[in-house]
A and B are shown apart, each in its own frame.
Chain A
């Protein structure tokens, strides 16, 4: 039987682990991740959209060769789709079969109906199951989209790593999964939940790190293009925009520019592809034209 890959033993090892999977991390994230792996607590990642929160969980699962179980949150997410559900059609069928066979031992039928055989396992329950490759990575994505009742339910799962099913009893994890929770902060998540986690705020990267990310993620980009793109985006982030572009947008934009055979930025190319970078019409209208040219000139001046 294959034994699970060992967890990294130091903050440096975490950074190397992530780097091996093309994720350029900063020290704050690596430290929080190290602690969460070491002490067996969930990692709570907050940050604006497109800074690479979800990617952390994916990369972690790949690097440790663990199964990735993803729970995408949405408003109204309930137990039936997050943890478990009974397989009602099969249960109904079972009742009919018992009746046809003139089985009258009702307590036994009832016990039978609510056994694991009829249980449909959803992500949270799956994450508690033993896995020969080691405990899986459980990604609870965009938790700010759910509502408060679901957060309250998560408390049990995340503090004791167990789910209680009334008909059966508690389901306890053989080994706690590696939990990563992300939030875009469209609302504040309750402190009771955060208290059980290690917290890391992922900020927009600085120019050096963004350039490193771009080199890893878009190796096809010419050096000059990459530098100018990063310079432009960094300047753009200091503007008063409704939605500031994230790293994901920087990568998309670079790829778009490569697809248009650009090896450097010019005002025409910027205007034509601004929609990849900015997602609100007000922002595009504000930046397009003279403003973009000014930012470009400033970025070139700063980049030398």
Chain B
């Protein structure tokens, strides 16, 4: 009946708003698309209606679960206005994947959609479950850095170059000392120059810094260095494209998004809240394994450099640490291990973890204070010739001006 069907747009609208509140990137354009798609597919089959909204409102695989959950809550048979439930027959939807409502969705529903008392209760259970087992889980507060410390840190970080050279891309850019003729520019120049000569124009392969993936150990033995290293990684992540940062102790946490906040203190505080295994034990092997299985193909594919920041003191057993390190090494352009223990002159790789990992890294460097980071920069970060320096051409009189 037309009146009941007329309620559909407002339902779709509220549904889209709920998803947006739950964090899906849905702008007004997509909402309009969703209305169009819903009208196109119609309500004859609940399944088609589901996938039509899915095609418009979901744009990443990881949003699927949230969408699924929200759709089920929103377009439940009993939640629909009278009449609509008849229009949406109870036909085959894909089976529900997760029983519990995610917290974000519950919050979004509380803000924008129909209230779900039941959902709120389930959320509490969910949060309680996450605090599991024997792991030493601690949410840590970062104390503010002293002003002097900040100045010192920032000066050092400003001097830093990563120990990774820029890599040539397949793109070309104009360069008077390049090694390839730029035909397009040459042709234009020859049109201007007249009949007697063709002035050649040159270009060469452009370079750009490679993607960097940093895996930072935040376990108990690394506690003293973790904050400084994260500050360093914050400077890195906010100054360059394509930097991904993970922390690990007993579990792997992706903190890239948190580190992109502009203010260092805010960013580090956010990381402190998100990372649950501060100063706990270390299971390097398992964390590397998880990284290899879940992330490496997505993050290391375009010739990324992997930075491993850990002391290599591993309490995990069961997982073959050597094999996982080798897998990591095979997946990236270069594996650099930054180890604070290296500052001791008499350091010898005795711990089992260190011996397992050492054969597979391309480079092994100390990193125990800002000074060593700076030295690392001097030793390793020569700017490749020809990419940064200005051309040696001089305008006369410029020096006097």
On A, residues with C-beta under 8 Å from B are 11, 27-28, 30-32, 34-36, 38-39, 41, 44, 46, 74-78, 86, 88, 91-92, 95, 99, 106, 109-110, 113, 144, 147-149, 185-188, 191, 194-195, 197-201, 240-243, 282
Contacts and interface: CB of A to CB of B under 8 A. Distances in A.
Interface stretch (B9-17, B36-44, B142-150, B265-273): B36-44
B183 interface: yes
B185 to A, nearest CB: 10
B210 to A, nearest CB: 12
Given A88-B184, A95-B190, A242-B292, A186 B55 contact: no
Given A31-B48, A75-B169, A75-B170, A200 B184 contact: no
B323 interface: yes
Nearest to A197: B59
13 contacts: A31-B51, A31-B54, A32-B51, A32-B55, A35-B41, A75-B302, A88-B187, A113-B191, A147-B302, A149-B171, A187-B301, A188-B60, A199-B59
A282 B323 contact: yes
Contacts of A188: 60, 298
Given A35-B55, A74-B170, A187-B301, A240 B293 contact: yes
B191 A39 contact: no
Contact of B30 (A11, A77, A195): A195
Nearest to A285: B323
Given A113-B191, A199-B59, A186 B301 contact: yes
A110 to B, nearest CB: 6
Contacts of A282: 323, 327
Contacts of B327: 242, 282
A200 B45 CA distance: 18
Contacts of A44: 59
Contacts of B184: 86, 88
Interface string B343-369: 000000000000000000000000000
A95 B40 CA distance: 55
Contact of A28 (B25, B51, B190): B51
B295 to A, nearest CB: 11
Contacts of B36: 39
A44 B55 CA distance: 9
Contacts, number: 117
Interface residues of B, number: 45
B29 interface: yes
B251 to A, nearest CB: 16
Given A99-B195, A187-B302, A282-B327, A27 B169 contact: no
A181 to B, nearest CB: 12
B332 interface: no
Nearest to B326: A282
Contacts of B59: 44, 191, 194-195, 197, 199
B37 A39 contact: yes
A36 to B, nearest CB: 8
B106 interface: no
Contact of A191 (B25, B172, B195, B301): B25
Given A35-B41, A39-B40, 8 more contacts: A27-B51, A86-B183, A92-B187, A195-B59, A201-B58, A241-B293, A242-B293, A242-B327
B61 interface: yes
Nearest to A104: B195
A246 to B, nearest CB: 13
A76 B298 contact: no
Nearest to B49: A31
A75 B33 CA distance: 32
A36 B191 CA distance: 46
B64 interface: yes
B55 A200 contact: yes
A28 B61 contact: no
Contacts of A243: 297
B153 interface: no
A201 B56 CA distance: 12
A114 B357 CA distance: 59
